[in-house]
Structure 1
Amino acid sequence: MDLFAQIEKRSKLVDKGIETYLPVTHPEELYKATRYLPDAGGKRLRPAVLMFAAEAVGGNSESVIPAAVAVELVHNFTLIHDDIMDSDDIRRGMPALHVKWGDAGAILAGDTLYSRAFEILSEMDMDKESLIKCVQLLSRTCTEICEGQWLDIEFEDRDDVTEEEYLEMIKKKTSVLYGAAAKMGALLGGASDEVADAFYDFGILTGVSFQIHDDVLDLITPEDVLGKVRGSDLMEGKKTLIAIHALNDGVELDVFGKGSATKEQIENAVSILEESGSLPYARNLAESYLKEGKAKLDILDDSEARQILLEIADYMLSRKY
C-alpha cells in the first residue's frame, strides 16, 4: 500500500469537488482570489482524514466529498486570515493572497471560503441527524480556531506563557480541525457516537503532534523547501513550545521578537535550541501525542482505511515541510 498514492487518489477527488462547488463566477475577480489558495495545492490531509475515517467505519469516501471540500475550504480560509494577521508574504511558495489582492480582497476571499463551506456541507444528501451534528461540529470548530488564533496573538505580548497554555492554544488553532474532519467522516460513514468520539480524539492528539512538529520545521527546514521565511516564529516572538522551554531555562535568543534576522543569526539560534535541549524536548512531546492519538483507533477492527489513518499520523511527524 502506497500511502501517498492513496492520499493523491482522494486529493484528486477533492480537487474536482472544489471545481464543482466553488466555480469562478461573477464577480470573477473575487472568485479568482477565492480559488487562488485552494488551487495552489497543499497536502489535503484534513479532507483525506475525513474520507478515510468514513471508509474505516464502512462508509463510502466518494459520498462524503462535499464534507471533505468543506473542511478544506475552512482550512484555506484560516490560512488566508493567518497570513494577514502575521504579515506573512509567502504561502505554498507563492505570494500570499493579501499580497496579490490586498488585505480587503483577501478578507473577502477568506469569508467567501468560510460561507461556501457551510453551504456545501448543509446541502449534502445524507442522514439529516448526522449532517446536523457535522454542521454544529464544524461551526464550533471555527469558533475554537478563532479562540486559538486570539490566544496566539495575545501570547506575543506576554512573557509568562506556560506550556499548558501553549498546548491549549494549538489544540484550538490547529488540532480541532483535524478532530472535526475525523469525526465528521466517521459520523457520515455511519459510526456510533462512541466511535465518532474516538476519531475526534485521534484527530486532536495527532493534530497537536502535527503542530509541535510544524514549529520544529519552522526552524530546521530551508526556505526553498518550507515555502515561507525560515525562523519566522522566532523573529515574531511567538511563544511556541520550543521558545517557552528555552526561555524557562534561561536560554539567550538574540533574534527572538526582533522582527528580522539574517540567515546566519537564525542558524545560530537553531544551534542554541538544539544544544540546550529545547528542540529535542519538542520532538519527544510530539512523539508522545502521536502515540496516544494512534491508540484511539484501537476501537476499530483492522482495515486498510484504519491502517492508512495510522500511516497519515506517522507522516505528520516524519514530514520535512
Structure 2
Amino acid sequence: MKQVNQIEKNAKRVNKNLNSKLKGNPKELYDAAGHLIVHGGKRLRPYMVIKSCQLLGGKTSNAMYPASAVEMIHNFTLVHDDIMDNDEMRHGVPTVHKKFGLPIAILAGDVLFSKAYQLITKSELSPNATNQLISRLAKACVDVCEGQLLDIKMAESKKIPTEPEYITMIGKKTAALFDVSCAMGAICATNKDGDISNLSSFGRNLGIAFQITDDLIGVMGDSKITRKPVGNDLREGKKSLPILMAIKLAKGKDKKIILKVFGNSKATKKNLNEAVNVIRTLGIEKSVRNQAFRYAEKAQKSLSSYSGTFKKDLVTLLDFVVKRSV
C-alpha cells in the first residue's frame, strides 16, 4: 500500500507539470494531446526517472522535466499505437482518434513528441547532461518504433515466433522506455558511466518483466480491472508469451478451441470465454510468472551495489510490477 501511495503522490506532481505544459492554441489540439494523460496512467516511467535520480544523490527538481518528457513520449506512443490497432477504448475512455478524429490525433501525438524534447532543454542541467538525455531518449524512440514494427510483422505472419523473438520485440517496444527512464534519472544525478549503465539495466529488465506480466493479464485478466473485453489479446491475434505457450501446450480439442478465436475479429464472447478457460486449465500462469521473475531477478542484481530508501523504492516497484493480479 505504501508503494501505491508513493506512486500516486509522484503521479500528482508529474500530472501538475504535464498539465501546465500542455496548454495552448488551438485548444482542441492540446485537449487531444492531454486526453489520455487526464484520464489515467500510473506514471511508472516518471517515477523511475525520479527514483533513479534520488538513488544516486541527485536533486528531485533536476529530474522533473525529464520525468515529464518521458511520460509525454509514452503517451505519444499510445496515441499512435491506438491508431495503428484501430482501438476504440483506453483507460476506460474513447481513444484520441475516436474522440477527436484521425488528423487531430496524429497532430496530438506529434505535439507530445516535440514537447518532450522541448521540456528537456528547459532543465537546469549541464549542456553535456542535456545532450545525453536528448540522445538517449531519441534512441529509445527509435527502439520503440522498431519494436512496434516487429510486433506488427509477428501479427501478420502465420509463423509462431520463438520466445527469444518475442523477448527481442518487447525489449524494444516496451522495455526501451523503462530502460531510458532509469538511465535519464541517473544522468540527472551523475556523469559516471557505471551508475548510468546499472540503472539502465535495471530499467530494461524491469520493462521486460512488466510486459510479460501485462501480457498474462491481457489474456487471463479480469475485464473489470483491465477495462478490456475478455480475451481481447486472443481476438487480436497477439503473439504474446502466454498465448505462444498456450498454443504450444494445448492438444486436440483444446487447441482447436484456442485457434478458433485466435486472430478472429468476429469471435463470439462465448467462444472467447471458452478459450480463456482452456488456457487457465493449461497451468501456464506459473510458467509465465516464472519468466517474469527471472527478469525481475536480473533487474534487482543491477542494483546490488546500492543501498538505502530509494533502492528499496525501486525494488518494491519491481515487486509490485511482477506480482500484479490477473
The farther-off stretch of 267-276 and 73-82 is: 267-276
CA shift at 1:48, angstroms? 0.3
Report if the CA contact (8 A) 2:129-2:191 is conserved: no
Query: Partners of 1:219 and 1:245 in 2: how far apart?
Result: 12
| Deviations 1:32-51, CA, capped at 9 Å, x for gaps | 11111111121000000100
Alpha carbons of 1:84 and 1:164: their partners in 2 closer, same or farther (altered >3 Å)? same
Aligned to 1:280: 286
Query: Partners of 1:312 and 1:285 in 2: how far apart?
Result: 17
What RMSD, in angstroms, separates the aligned Cα atoms of the two structures? 1.6
Query: Partners of 2:62 and 2:17 in 1: how far apart?
Result: 11
Unpaired stretches in structure 2, ≥5 consecutive residues: none
The farther-off stretch of 51-60 and 118-127 is: 118-127
Aligned to 1:293: 299
> What SS does structure 1 have at the residue aligned with 2:142?
helix
Aligned to 1:200: 200
Aligned runs of 1:147-296 on 2, under 5 Å?
147-158=146-157, 159-190=159-190, 192-249=192-249, 251=251, 252=255, 253=258, 254-296=260-302
Query: Partners of 2:276 and 2:285 in 1: how far apart?
Result: 8
> What SS does structure 1 have at the residue aligned with 2:174?
helix
The farther-off stretch of 235-244 and 219-228 is: 219-228
Alpha carbons of 1:191 and 1:305: their partners in 2 closer, same or farther (altered >3 Å)? farther
| Deviations 1:133-190, CA, capped at 9 Å, x for gaps | 1110000000000000000000012213111111000010000100100010011112
> What SS does structure 2 have at the residue aligned with 1:299?
coil
CA shift at 1:191, angstroms? 5.1
Aligned to 1:13: 13
CA shift at 1:273, angstroms? 1.9
Q: Quick one: which amino acid aligns to residue 262 of structure 1?
A: T
Report if the CA contact (8 A) 1:77-1:113 is conserved: yes
> What SS does structure 2 have at the residue aligned with 1:257?
coil
Aligned to 1:66: 65
Unpaired stretches in structure 1, ≥5 consecutive residues: none
Query: Partners of 1:63 and 1:230 in 2: how far apart?
Result: 42
TM-score, scaled to structure 1: 0.95
Aligned to 1:308: 313
Query: Partners of 1:153 and 1:103 in 2: how far apart?
Result: 20
> What SS does structure 1 have at the residue aligned with 2:138?
helix
Query: Partners of 1:288 and 1:270 in 2: how far apart?
Result: 25
Aligned to 2:79: 80
Q: Quick one: which amino acid aligns to residue 128 of structure 1?
A: P
Aligned runs of 1:32-51 on 2, under 5 Å?
32-51=31-50
The farther-off stretch of 254-263 and 270-279 is: 270-279
Q: Quick one: which amino acid aligns to residue 271 of structure 2?
A: Q
Aligned to 1:317: 322
Query: Partners of 1:279 and 1:296 in 2: how far apart?
Result: 26
Q: Quick one: which amino acid aligns to residue 287 of structure 2?
A: Y
Query: Partners of 2:239 and 2:214 in 1: how far apart?
Result: 14
CA shift at 1:245, angstroms? 2.1
> What SS does structure 2 have at the residue aligned with 1:74?
helix
> What SS does structure 2 have at the residue aligned with 1:258?
coil
> What SS does structure 1 have at the residue aligned with 2:101?
helix
Aligned to 1:102: 101
Query: Partners of 1:122 and 1:130 in 2: how far apart?
Result: 10
Query: Partners of 1:68 and 1:61 in 2: how far apart?
Result: 10
The farther-off stretch of 180-189 and 116-125 is: 116-125
Report if the CA contact (8 A) 2:220-2:280 is conserved: no
Query: Partners of 1:249 and 1:13 in 2: how far apart?
Result: 46
CA shift at 1:110, angstroms? 0.8
- Identity within the alignment, %: 35
Residues matched between the structures, number: 319
Report if the CA contact (8 A) 1:209-1:286 is conserved: yes
| Deviations 1:180-210, CA, capped at 9 Å, x for gaps | 0001001111251111111111111111010
Report if the CA contact (8 A) 1:93-1:224 is conserved: no
Query: Partners of 1:175 and 1:3 in 2: how far apart?
Result: 21
Query: Partners of 2:56 and 2:268 in 1: how far apart?
Result: 50
Report if the CA contact (8 A) 2:32-2:105 is conserved: yes
Query: Partners of 2:298 and 2:264 in 1: how far apart?
Result: 36
